[in-house]
Amino acid sequence: MDTEILSRLQFAFTVGFHIIWPTFSIGTACFVACLSGLWWWTGKPVYRDLMRFWARLFGLGFGMGVITGVVLSYEIGANWAGFSRSVSNVLGPLFMYETLTAFFLEAGFIGIMLFGENRVGKGAHFFACATVAIGTLISATWILAANSWMQTPAGAIQDAQGIFHVTSWWDVIFNPSFPFRLAHMVCASFLTCSFVVAGVSGFHLWRGQHVEAARTAFSMALWAALLLAPLQMVLGDAHGLNTLQHQPMKIAAMEGLWQSRSAVPSVLFAWPDMASASNRFAVEIPHLASLYLTHSWDGAVQGLDAVPAADRPYVPVVFFSFRIMIGIGLLLFATAITAAVLRWRGRLYTTNWFLVGTMVTAPLGFIAVIAGWTVTEAGRQPYVVYGLLRTADAASPVAAGAVATTLFVFVVLYACLFVVLMWFATRLVLRGPGDRARQGLAATGIVRTGVRPLLSRERSISEQPVPGE
């Protein structure tokens, strides 16, 4: 393999691993903020226990996101020098704005969120949790603005040396695809988190442990999923129409559409053949692609034949990734509908096959997100800035062996990090919401009263920490 392909593989691996953690952090931070607000509003211990539990898991994901995110910055400079040279005037300030706004907010309040529950009032703790949640959303906003500009560049001109210069920051940030991609990604994060919460809570219900907390979180997660799954379909449709307008070759690759035509069928399955520019073993539904792409039964859609072969994305990767994303989305929607039916019948918390099913669906949202980002990035090829800067011109002139070596190191290192994180996460999940020591000592009254140490003149035995906390 040459340097460009190896650099693309390395970045695909590292960014694919990284996107797991912001996806989890965005959804979980907002969930923890909701739980903190409910605890402040109602005073019910179940919300406090759930807040503690999910805040700890959020902390793990947030830390992993920071570690893997820093790597991407160095990787861009090392492997993509041409890209850095060309777009630094545009993307450099956007990344700086993310640090100055989102990261400072998160870093300033995450300590209170994770460790300040008994050191500040409930209202102050809710404010800290909400601020961290807002920080994750602001971070997503800046990153999606930068990436969307690469998909639909606007507000900048390119000089004779290939360097981009900003003419309108408003147009750079609010480029044509930005609103659709931001909404689609944030909704995906919330939906993914909903099924993670449902899966973990379903596990506790299946084992008959932490029943009150598990029922509460299970119910909240599946209500959210019932709202978010159809909303994501609407957002995805709007995003698709925007992509059809600005990146028609990406849509053509997603649909496996080699020739421009009207009355376009939807290809359920096929094996796209780049050599012959055709689909093998195709299973199609007539007119359906025209219907959802143009909202017309016989609508015309531009095919891959509209551009030279050298300007086409690699169709099989885009084609299959899109179907993985759509298939998982439909499965999650069906799960949310099933939950609504079981809730109506009064069997939501006691149907074992469904509880096991939620455990199975827990990681699927992450797979769908990775598949969706694969569609986005692979479908933009052969450009890194769509229509303006080719990927081949963006790569650094480094030896292929050096890139292959660092790719191998990243695979081994990230595998070790993932194993360690999952070990800690599994311990937290097995422990569950609430404290076993607290539950065991509840009858004796040796539990915390909730009095803040800084406001009490002396600590009684009822305020002493319980072993294991």
Q: What is the DSSP string of 386-446?
A: TTTEEHHHHS----HHHHHHHHHHHHHHHHHHHHHHHHHHHHHHHH-SS-HHHHHHGGGT-
DSSP 3-state of 17: helix
Give the pLDDT score at 435.
55
Q: Report which residue type is found at 209.
A: Q
Domain ranges of the chain: 3-246+313-434
Cα 181 to the center of its chain, rounded Å = 12
Q: 277, 305 in Cβ contact below 8 A?
A: yes
DSSP 3-state of 259: coil
Q: What is the DSSP string of 140-154?
A: HHHHHHHHHHHHS--
Q: Which tokens sit at 404?
A: 């292959």
Q: What's the rounded Cα separation, in Å, for the pair 18 and 148?
A: 18
- The yes-or-no verdict on residue 449 having pLDDT over 60 is no
> What are 317-329's pLDDT values in tens digits?
999 999 999 999 9
- Would residue 346 be called left, alpha or beta, if left means φ above 0 and alpha means ψ between -120 and 50 degrees? left
> What are 409-439's pLDDT values in tens digits?
999 999 999 999 999 999 999 998 875 434 4
Local confidence band at 460 (pLDDT 50, 70, 90 cut-offs)? very low
For 304, which DSSP code? G
Give the pLDDT score at 457.
33
> What are 289-336's pLDDT values in tens digits?
999 999 889 889 999 999 999 999 999 999 999 999 999 999 999 999
To which H or E segment does residue 469 belong? Answer: none
- The yes-or-no verdict on residue 446 having pLDDT over 50 is no
